[in-house]
Structure 1
Amino acid sequence: MADISMNKARVMIRKAMQKGRELDLKPLAVIVLDAGGNVKAFEREDGTAPGRYAIAHGKAYGSVMLGMAGTAQMARAEQQTYFMDAANGVFGGQVVPVPGGVLVRDKRGAVIGAVGVTGDLSENDAICAAFGIEAANFVAEV
């Protein structure tokens, strides 16, 4: 299983933000977590609210800890609210089950981390996260 190096984490962040600028999105905050849910790198653009760290982290953290991307978490929350409420309780309220939390998989399909992006519409955040992940030569699961 590959690990996310600091260099690859920086590529993911830089490329996610680049995509946000190309799409003319609101300022973004981007976090990269490793497979254990530990912060590898974080940046936020000028003009991003300080609370965006917690949101980006929650999107990525939920993805890694549950093994499902934010889009799947949101669908699960809509179908089984009790499950996502319980999971969020287990993880101390740190899970933000919406698009923008994207799993990072290596070429063999193993989950090696997650990227969380916040700042614009959740669907746009997910597009930027996936772009950054793929730019670092990993596979994005949105």
Structure 2
Amino acid sequence: MHDKWFRGVCRVLDAPELAEDPRFATHALRAENGDAFHPELEQRLAARDATEWERDLNAEGIPAAVVRTLEEAVQSEQAANRRLLHEVDSARGRISVLGVAGAPSPPRVPDLGEHTDAILAELAYGEDEIESLSRRLAPS
């Protein structure tokens, strides 16, 4: 844990004794004394829900986030605030796609295999090879 966040973490954990313990005074010392430091953290962190810690640590200016599943992440308030999901047209109708914060939405997404021939041609496949691959790999 970075030195600039350590005292704030101790405040949020209500553990002033950790902040004053000379074994934990610097990042290097906390790493060296990890066998003593980590159980202290784990014991305190186990006392509350991860979302509470995330909220309280962030309020203290300490970057922290709950580890989320992909579904939880894309449905999160943060994803909505950053406008990461975009509704776009596809061959199957309107769908949600994951975008890049601040980037414009694509007008539509390609259908599966839509650009395969062009990509293979760019990779120097000949027309006969592309046609042969298309016949062999086409869904039946």
- Provide TM-score, normalisation by structure 2: 0.24
Greater share of residues in helix = 2
Larger radius of gyration: 2
**More relative contact order in 1 or in 2 (CA 8 Å, sep 6+)?**
1
Greater share of residues in strand = 1
- Provide TM-score, normalisation by structure 1: 0.24
